[in-house]
Structure 1
Amino acid sequence: MPFQIVEKTGFLNLMKKAVPQYKVPSRSYFSTNKIPAMYKEVRANVEEQLTEGVWFGATTDLWTSSVGGGEPFMSFTIHYLSTDWQLKSHCLETLFFPDDHTAEHITEMMENMLLDWKIKKESLSGITTDNASNMRKAFQSFPCVWFPCFGHNLNLAISKVLKIPRVESATRACRHLVQGFSRSWKRKRELQKKQAELNIPEHSLIHDVVTRWGSTFEMIARFLEQQQAICGVLAGDRNTWHFMPKDNDITVLEKVSQLLCPLHDFTDVLASEKQVTLSSLKPVLEHINNEILQDQEKDCTLTKQMKHVIREDLLMQLRYTEEMKNVLNISSFVDPRFKGSFAENLDDTVKACSDEALALASHTEDPPAASTQSTSSTNTPTTKRKEKSLSGLLQQITSAKMNRSLTPGYAMPSIQEKFNSEVNLYSSLPAISADADPLAWWKAHVEEMPMLSKVARKYLCIPATSVPSERVFSTSGHILSPQRSRLSTENVNMLTFLHFNMN
């Protein structure tokens, strides 16, 4: 609600009845005092949580508000794995971006946001944005890999399907029908009666949004679900028969719904902020190309045409560079649900993973324990009771092994040998089920495979889509409403931040 609600007569009367002795603060108290104080407190908490992250995935997007002066904003979300292998994400900024949306200005804006949050560019393992040329160019100089949003690319491909003349005509007829019901309370009322009579779920018809193909699919699917009830309503009034799509249009809508349903499901799954997504991208793409979009004998001409359009456009949009392919292969390999089952060349993938593990080990490997420390631990007197306990015996065994490793002439295994040993162990373990949590698996096996787990920590936090940033703008659109069109850009940022980060 707008800050000014605290000065409205109705609200003041309510508070006077509810808490007579309480004096309601002014509007300026909330806008200039309370909200900034809350923002400062929550920001400090988020900054503390960010210290758990070693590697970070990021998303960003650009948006222009539809109210006020049409101010442009840039969002910034961060994703990382905590010390206990929990995938965490935060909306950090929704900043006013008055400059031209050139690649140079986007790069400068992102660098300033990273600096403000004390996140090093070198700590970014990936950035996911839409496929716009300015975004693509903006992050070429970053040390991390840039990924095009899978959802955006799929949206572009399916948008071309919806422009096929027969599909466009059928979709327009369905949209006309939905509008005819939404503008008439009488038809809505009769639809509810028919739904009850026919024992059909009492769902409302759905309007689509032109920029979101998912909403068009939902509109078509809902029409097909309610088709019997809709026909019952329209049959009772001759003047409404023109709303009903023709039989040919309904057949087209059924074919469109049948093709888009699995694609819609994949888009929703890969847009999650609570699950690992990038490692699933390669298996999903392979399934889409080899199963969903492959021509079948039973397919009609229109279905084959739609599949061809999506396949050609999607393959063109997803022309991954060698660096992108490398990251996709590594992320899929270190996901215990897939391992190497989706690698085009398993040996090359293991080699790339090995190179990454060695690079990480050279920067983050802990120094070996000092000899004085091991000596003091072995010379520490222990009681007879402790020596006979399991912990005491294990302490003696590990101390003896450490002493042997410090003995001159003892050959310590090289880092490469350690990694090879970990890969052999990893490959020997059975893959977990597809619906299991890969992060929970790594949490249980991190001590067995410390080098490989570092690679997993780096790449499993990268989101496959830029949907997190788009969700930020959906929320900002509700905050910067027509009733709050004079809200300052600073307050938009603070209120959006609080919405996403308050516990």
Structure 2
Amino acid sequence: MSDSAEARACFMKWKYSRHFTFLKQADKNITVIRKLCPGEKKLSAAVNSTSNLLKHLTRQHRQSLLSEPSSSSTDNTAATPAKQTKLDFTSATQKVSEGELKKMIAGYVVEEMLPLRTVESLSFRCILNKIPVCGKKAALHDRKMFSAYLDKCYADMEMELKETFESLEYISTTADIWTSHNKSFLGMTAHWIDPSTFVRGHAALACKRVRGRHTHDVIGNEIEQVHSAYGLNSKVTTTVTDNRSNFIKAFRMFQKSDSDEELEEDDEVTFIDVEQTLSTKSEGQFSLPPHLRCASHTLNLIFHDVEKWLQANEAKFIYRSATSKCSAMWTKANRSSVASELVDNFFMKKLIVPVSTRWNSFHHALSRITDIPLAELNTVCTQFGIKCFTDREYLFLKEYCIVLKPLTVALDILQGEENCYFGILLPTLEILISRTLALQDELKLTASLPDIIVKAIKVRFSSMMDNKEALLAAVTLPKFKLRWIREEEKKDMVRAMLTTECRGLSLEDQQPAQDHKNPANSTDDFFSFEEDDCTYSAETEVMEYLKYAGSELGVLSQFPRIKAISLRYNTATPSSAPVERPFSLGNLVLTPRRNRLSSERFERLTLMRYNNFFKNNTAK
């Protein structure tokens, strides 16, 4: 069918087409002859719109259209192009209650980390006056009343956290101390795994002010108080901290040992000094959970080991000269706006300046420089007045970045939180070692550097390589199982370890159900033997679990004993990096213009913001 015939067929479907005679089509327009007008007068209209023809009929032949039964308002509407419907917001406005408005205001102030004086701002109150509140004017509270409302919200948040913790069996915590504006704060976060959905949960527990020196007894006392406040003393499987000596000593001195749990019976009467027991200065008055050193911090120390080796090795001269030129470029680009603009115009990207608090920043900064071709790099160095890089120095920097790339990737993995479990640690270290050693063949100036890194990893993590908890945590993650272990002897050892652990759980589960119907004085009880169904069941479950192809955590629902072991040992995070995130938020709250903010108010604002209290409650 031609375009003209198609246009004619489309035009004939129009209900008023009988008043016109289709003549022709030219491009996107059609030409028709008006029948109601004297003479053969022509009229044009668009192919896809008859509005021009309808206007002619309504203006010149209105009486003829009104006399027709089909000429109703609905027909006219159908003939004309659809227009956008106007919305009436005045009648459809949904009014909120006063309680909802207060919660939204609190959520806005806390989530955006605004000062509390925002509620007294004239511009903010002008906005609130435009919001209808159930047919009456909104009651605008001052700062004092708003602070009291935030205290109530914080109490509700604490109650919700305690209810969540009551339903959990295993919880892990992280702890660290942060100093800002000459004030020190102890931050703590809690982490757990939902036993039904296997979703990783986390919450900030504290960001409280610590006064005086950060000695081991002060740190231990503060950590124990936070655990007690949320009822976590018996549920915390591990507390993860960095490698600072005061934290290590606190857990070495006050960590609860297995011997403390065993009660010794003694017939003799023992008198205890009540004053010494109740004294806050007496050591041993509190106990801390098992301690785990931050794996990310330990990996960062390997960077320092590599640097020390480079400073003392024959490559120290080329290392010093290359890094000094890089430092000169960073300094120039960071302090001079003209130099920064030159870098932007020449490279179309900025240079990354290393930061001491970002562990991977030095590697990323060197990688950004080595991504630039040597000729262009030396051109900028000349304009900066810096000595140019030699071919040997440039090659050294490239090899340095290649060797340390697996280490930075492992560091990023271990600093995760959402899908990062303690069982990830050992597989990450094994893959890190293998990939680092595989780089030796492509290196020239740094051929011995992979061996130094691998040696440092084995020394730093020597206590973790054969750790029972770490091995069980790794093998009970369906993603890894035994795939990451290369030695067959070690595979057999870990498999036997897992079977033994499952057998112990089976015996405990079966113990209450071993009551026999036979009477106690029956001869059958004399010849009763321990059933080995539990042992067989545990071995079968381990074998089926290791053969199962699934890699998601939901697979553990089919293996109850493996699930129980995995929840116990994988609750902890391999690093204390999650506790750094509340400090990042706290740095935005505790600004110089808010120096009168009390420590208690600062802690509550930070915790509510980190835990997304108002956002989660609004979503509900």
Which residue in the other structure is 1:375 paired with?
A: none
* Identical counterparts, % of pairs: 22
Instruction: Name the structure 2 match of 1:84.
Output: 197
Does residue 459 (structure 1) correspond to residue 569 (structure 2)? The answer is: yes
Q: Which moved more, 1:167-176 or 1:108-117?
A: 167-176
- Which residue type is aligned with residue 171 of structure 1? T
Contact 1:419–1:452 (Cα < 8 Å) also in 2: no
Q: Deviations over 1:89-138 (max 9, x none)?
A: 111111222243333332222221111001133x2222221122332232
Shift of the alpha carbon at 1:370? 11
In 2: Cα distance, 1:28 partner to 1:113 partner: 28
Partner Cα distance (1:478, 1:363) in 2: 50
Q: Distance in 1 between matches of 2:582 and 2:509?
A: 34
Q: Distance in 1 between the 2:530 and 2:510 partners?
A: 19
RMSD: 3.3
CA drift at 1:231: 3.8
Shift of 1:294: 5.8
Structure-2 residue corresponding to 1:327: 469
What SS does the corresponding residue of 1:147 show, helix, strand or coil?
A: strand
1:53 corresponds to 2:165: no
| SS of aligned partner of 2:419 | coil
Return 42-51 or 348-357, whichever deviates more: 348-357
Q: How does 1:17-32 map to 2 (within 5 A)?
A: 19=129, 25-30=141-146, 32=147
Contact 2:175-2:186 within 8 A present in 1 as well: yes
Which residue, out of 609, 613, 616, partners 1:499?
609
Distance of 1:362 and 1:104 partners within structure 2: 40
Alpha-carbon distance in 1 for matches of 2:115, 2:222:
29
Q: How far does residue 75 in structure 1 lie from its aligned partner after superposition? A: 1.5
The whole-number CA distance in structure 2 between the counterparts of 1:366 and 1:473 is 47
8 A contact 1:194–1:233 mirrored in 2: no
Deviation of the 1:5 alpha carbon:
4.7
| Whole-angstrom CA distance in 1 between matches of 2:189 and 2:484 | 29
CA distance 1:227–1:449, shift in 2 (3 Å): same
Structure 1 counterpart of 2:186, from 59, 67, 74: 74
| Alignment match of 2:501 (pick from 356, 363, 373) | 356
Quick one: distance in 2 between partners of 1:488 and 1:366? 54
Give the number of aligned pairs. Answer: 441
State the partner residue of 2:334: 182
Show CA shifts across 1:417-473 (max 9, x none): 32122112212323x4xxx54x2322xxx2x32122110111122111111112222
CA distance in 2, matches of 1:33, 1:245: 62
Structure 2 matches for 1:149-168, cutoff 5 A?
Answer: 149-163=294-308, 164=311, 165=316, 166-168=318-320
- Aligned residue number for residue 64 of structure 2: none
Equivalent residue for 1:440?
A: 554
| 1:39/1:494 contact within 8 Å kept | yes
Match of 2:251 among 132, 139, 163: 139
Shift of 1:365: 6.9
State the TM-score, normalizing by the size of structure 1.
0.77
User: Residue 441 of structure 2 aligns to a residue in which SS?
Assistant: coil
- Among 594, 597, 603, the residue aligned to 1:487: 597
Partners of 1:7 and 1:498 lie apart in 2 by 18
Measure, in 2, the Cα distance between the counterparts of 1:349 and 1:108.
37
CA offset at residue 364 of structure 1? Answer: 6.7
Supply the AA of the counterpart residue of 2:581: R
> Does structure 1 residue 205 correspond to structure 2 residue 351?
yes
SS of the equivalent of 2:188 reads strand
Partner of 2:442: 298
Kindly indicate which of the two structures has a greater share of residues assigned to helix: 1
Higher relative contact order (CA 8 A, sep 6+): 1
Of the three residues 363, 366, 371, the one matched with 1:217 is 363
Asked if 1 retains the 8 angstrom alpha-carbon contact of 2:207 and 2:603, the reply is: yes
SS at match of 2:477: coil
C-alpha contact (below 8 Å) 2:510/2:534 kept by paired residues: no
Counterpart amino acid of 1:77? T
Give secondary structure in 2 for the equivalent of 1:209: coil
C-alpha distance 129-365 of structure 1, shift in aligned 2 (>3 A): farther
The answer (yes or no) to whether the contact 1:61–1:74 under 8 Å persists in 2 is yes
2:459 to 306, 316, 327: 316
CA-to-aligned-CA distance 1:297-338 (integer Å, 9 cap, x gap)? 33224342x33443333332223168x711111111111122
1:272 pairs, out of 412, 416, 436, with: 416
Unaligned 5+ runs, structure 1: 196-201, 372-408
**Cα separation, 2, equivalents of 1:23 and 1:175:** 58
In the aligned structure 2, how far is the partner of 1:452 from the partner of 1:369? 23
The one-character-per-residue Cα deviations of 1:346-383 (angstroms, maximum 9, x if unpaired) are 34323433443455556677955999xxxxxxxxxxxx
Aligned counterpart, 2:548: 429
Equivalent in 530, 534, 538 of residue 419 of structure 1: 538
**Alpha-carbon offset, residue 181 of structure 1:** 2.2
- Output the amino acid matched with 2:554: A
Q: How far did residue 53 of structure 1 move?
A: 2.0
Q: Secondary structure at the match of 1:335?
A: coil
1:379 aligned partner: none
Q: Give distance in 2, aligned partners of 1:158 and 1:102.
A: 28
Matched, 1:120 2:239: no
Aligned mate of 1:171, from 314, 323, 336: 323
